[in-house]
Amino acid sequence: MHTHLPGPGRRLPVSTYRLQLGPDLTFADVEKALDYLDALGVTDLYLSPVLQAAPGSTHGYDVVDHTRISDVLGGREGLESLAAAAHGRGMGVIVDVVPNHMAVPTPAWHNRALWSVLRHGTESPYARWFDVDLDEEADGLLMPVLGARIGDVLASGELQVDRAVVPGEEADGEQVVLRYHDHVFPVRPETEDLPLAELVGRQHYRLAYWRVADEELNYRRFFDVGTLAAIRVEDPEVFDATHALLLELHGAGVIDGFRIDHPDGLADPRGYLRRLHEATGGAWIVAEKILEGDEELPDDWPVAGTTGYDTAWRLHALQVDPAGAVPLSTLQHELTGESADLHAVVEEAKRQIVETSLYAEIHRLTTLLDEICDDDVRLRDHTFRSLHDCVVELVVAFDRYRAYVVPGEPAPPLAERVVREAAEVARSRLEPDRHDTLDVVVDLVLGKEVGSAGRRGEERRAELVVRFQQVCGAVMAKGVEDTAYYRWTHLVSLCEVGGSPSRFGIDPDELHAFARRTAASWPATMTAGSTHDTKRSADVRSRIGAIAARAEEWVALVRRLREATADLRPADLDGRTENLLWQTLAGTWTPGGPIDTDRLTGYLLKAAREQKTWTTWTAPDEAREEAMTGYATALLTHPEVVEAFGAWVERVTPTVRRSVLATTLLQLTVPGVADVYQGTEVTGTSLVDPDNRRPVDLAWRARLLAMLDGGRSPHGDLAAEKLALVAAALRTRRALPGAFVGPDAGYEPLPSTTGHAVAFARTLAGEPRVAVVATRLSDEGHAARSLAEATVVLPEGAWRSALSGVVHDGGAVRVRDLLGPWPVALLVKEDHA
């Protein structure tokens, strides 16, 4: 049996529809939408986290109680009702799981496990849950919530001793608490009567100014988010307690499979996934793993695959014209003054992150190294500063989220190679006197014996192996995804979560090679286009990608509009932000005009602060931000801008249409379980969260689908064309599941006489059942003429178009005959229709 397929009797989804639950989309709301989702062809619901989250949560990743299904969503009763209705239609239920962290809510009592630790310290039954040292000699768990330094807060009287009935502990009556505005904290028993300053100093936690967090934080968090505290799910007791309800619901047949959020943050991702695999009897599980470039998912993870970023970036790059790279690089230099060196931008961003928001994590890692060296006479001369320099350079040089080294096991060859390659880069940046120290650090993070003999298995050395990998992941996430990818504006659609912006376009052969590897090794992985985490939807990426096909024209347009609006443009407008602005307009301007001002300016503010150059979340330059958003707002109604973008949209419409539809069909037919993010079955203009988590009008989509099924032509309306295509693909998958997922599903490229089309067959036990043709880079001139005369060789037999109903015989067929009015073709072998 294939190790990356579900176990016996476990459900294998054919397609999933991601639903971002919240107050605007409850279990009951989803239940009402089942008719539509079933008609669309969806086989499985894919729900965002369902456990009780912090008050006001809009996404569910801030869990506060693992023993309850979210009240806001409808509670356990609502989930069970939805699951029963879905299962009654033959549809499955996949649930998002957050094993890495819990919320630090306001007030803290909403997280009863955390409240207990804050009140009782090491005596709490939850003391082992959180990744923090609760030693009685330590300062206690840092709570960096104060708006000023503790001395000033005490002097101002803002911090007060009060009494309150704690929710969930009503039987205890009123408890003494510390209150700071909306924040409420427990008071350690037997300290209630102390003077305020002394009482504050005697707690199991340390109240502190919020800026202290980046320098002295003593608990592991989700990246640099202090309100998400990491938990030790590697502890079997913590795993059992935090997964009991979900596993109970899985065992009862309510939940069929799981999506795992950010496994790279865990101490032992493989160990966690093995435990979950065993507990579920081999359920379908996918891991949100960001793979860098050609990195592969570890084969010893018992999962079906990833959540699909690796497919998403390749499908977009397939539609990006490499000829646009040079002109767009020239424009980037004009606006930003920087040379085209992505690696330098990434290095600078990672270096900034380790010196600022993740300084506490780097310092903690260095302190651990220093303790290890100080405790071994053979290593004692490696100073704290030398160790710190080596850690910084090694982490900055690391080219992926982490290596996978397990304490007590020999480092896998790939992990050792990755660490040593990073070390060689680090060595080139360190003074020669640091090289010996770097060798020690490398051996320690690989779990090798270094220093005095026999010291390998010590607890602190094991902790170092784990923490180093966790810090690498945090630095990659914050330095690359959340900083460098907002700074690099060559073509911003390439700067996507899990993307590879150094690759300006790929060709069909590269996609075929990737697809065949996936079919062989990860046949039940997930494929994605848009997700709740993507920086822009797949459609916006397609519109921005169209710039590359008309790069010279785009450069001229931007130059002309910059000149026309020079009197409006702030003198100190940041060049990167401006380049991002123009491309964002291209990505969101449709035949109906631009997006709403509030959505555009909200996105630009987030993007500018994520750049962390001229304004930041923690120190916003409000005057420059206001000037920037004012300029962006003015552009939306400026006559020349409106006219120019109207003309631009008209010219690129064929390119955008082809790219949108081709990307959609490929995402729904290449190897893996095809996911559709809520609402994206029609065209949209969604940008990064929270924009992409806006409520979706499923009822309108249901009416449109019914009209299409009733005979309305989709042509002339790209939203309708996309919906018709998604429905055709999902229904084909549902009718022929074995050709798309499962042990006998295969992928075979089909011969074609043009590089302007991608053609392949999905096979079942080696027999072609479905053929797919998607065009690329072929809208005018020689490319269009080439495609018109090109042929694709279909396998023998009769092939019916799922889009037009036309039947084609096997053999060489002209691409234009296969396509008809579409830029894509989806063909089903007649005798298996």
Task: Please report the pLDDT score of residue 137 as a whole number.
Answer: 60
Residues 257 and 386 in one domain: no
Q: Give the CATH number for residue 285.
A: 3.20.20.80
Residues 45 and 83 in one domain: yes
Residues 722 and 706 in one domain: yes
| Beta-carbon count within 10 A of 821 CB | 11
Q: What does the pLDDT average to over 457-479?
A: 93
In a domain, 627, yes or no: no
> pLDDT confidence of 221, banded at 50, 70, 90?
confident
In a domain, 603, yes or no: no
- How many secondary structure helices (H) and strands (E) does the chain include? 29, 24
In angstroms, the CA 483 to CA 500 distance is 15
pLDDT in tens, 548-604: 999 999 999 999 999 999 999 999 999 999 999 999 999 999 999 999 999 999 999
In a domain, 64, yes or no: yes
Task: Please report the pLDDT score of residue 736 as a whole number.
Answer: 98
Query: Taken in order 708, 712, 715, 718, is the CA torsion positive or negative?
Result: negative
Residue numbers of the domain that contains 717? 655-662+696-832
Q: Give the CATH number for residue 782.
A: 2.60.40.1180
Task: Please report the pLDDT score of residue 339 as a whole number.
Answer: 78
Phi-psi region of 456 (alpha: psi -120 to 50; beta: other; left: phi over 0): alpha
For a pLDDT cut of 70, what percent of the chain falls above it? 99
Whether the pLDDT of residue 833 is over 60: the answer is no
Q: Which two tokens stand for residue 574?
A: 């940041």
- For residue 693, the one-letter residue type is R
> pLDDT confidence of 605, banded at 50, 70, 90?
very high
In a domain, 388, yes or no: yes
Give the 3-state secondary structure of residue 26: coil
274 by Cβ neighbours in 10 Å (0-12 / 13-18 / 19+) ranks as middle
Residues 363 and 217 in one domain: no
Domain boundary among 254, 289, 307: 307
Residue of 826, 812, 752, 822 lying closest to 787 (CA atoms):
752
In whole numbers, what is the pLDDT of the chain averaged over residues?
95
Q: Which two tokens stand for residue 678?
A: 């809520």
Residues 60 and 204 in one domain: no
Q: What does the pLDDT average to over 204-217?
A: 88
Query: Structurally, how many domains does the chain consist of?
Result: 4
Residues 76 and 133 in one domain: no
> pLDDT confidence of 214, banded at 50, 70, 90?
confident
The number of C-alpha atoms within 13 Å of 739 and in the hemisphere containing its C-beta is: 26
DSSP state of 294: T
567 by Cβ neighbours in 10 Å (0-12 / 13-18 / 19+) ranks as exposed
> pLDDT confidence of 487, banded at 50, 70, 90?
very high
Helix ranges restricted to H, 89-190: 112-120, 150-156
pLDDT in tens, 10-54: 999 999 999 999 999 999 999 999 999 999 999 999 999 999 999
Residues 702 and 826 in one domain: yes
Residues 293 and 381 in one domain: no
Task: Please report the pLDDT score of residue 670 as a whole number.
Answer: 98
Specify the residue for token string 């229904």. Answer: 731
Query: Taken in order 546, 550, 551, 555, is the CA torsion positive or negative?
Result: negative
Domain boundary among 278, 307, 336: 307
In angstroms, the CA 380 to CA 162 distance is 50
In a domain, 565, yes or no: no
In a domain, 781, yes or no: yes
Residues 237 and 220 in one domain: no
Contacts of 454 (CB under 8 A, 6+ apart): none
Whether the pLDDT of residue 282 is over 50: the answer is yes
pLDDT in tens, 324-349: 999 999 999 999 998 779 999 999 99
pLDDT in tens, 141-191: 889 999 999 999 999 999 999 999 999 889 989 999 999 999 999 999 999
Contacts of 177 (CB under 8 A, 6+ apart): 161, 162, 163, 164, 166, 184, 185, 186, 187
Residues 84 and 128 in one domain: no
Q: Give the CATH number for residue 155.
A: 3.30.1590.10
Between 137 and 235, the more confident residue is 235
Q: What does the pLDDT average to over 50-78?
A: 96
Whether the pLDDT of residue 90 is over 70: the answer is yes
> pLDDT confidence of 84, banded at 50, 70, 90?
very high
In a domain, 165, yes or no: yes
Residues 351 and 441 in one domain: yes
Give the 3-state secondary structure of residue 280: coil
> pLDDT confidence of 319, banded at 50, 70, 90?
very high
pLDDT in tens, 791-815: 999 999 999 999 999 999 999 999 9
Task: Please report the pLDDT score of residue 2 as a whole number.
Answer: 65
Whether the pLDDT of residue 1 is over 50: the answer is no
Task: Please report the pLDDT score of residue 457 as a whole number.
Answer: 67
pLDDT in tens, 103-139: 999 999 999 999 999 999 999 999 999 988 776 666 7
Domain boundary among 484, 500, 530: 484
Residues 759 and 777 in one domain: yes
pLDDT in tens, 191-207: 999 999 999 999 999 99
768 strand-pairing partners: 763
In a domain, 587, yes or no: no
Residue of 54, 59, 47, 51 lying closest to 22 (CA atoms):
59
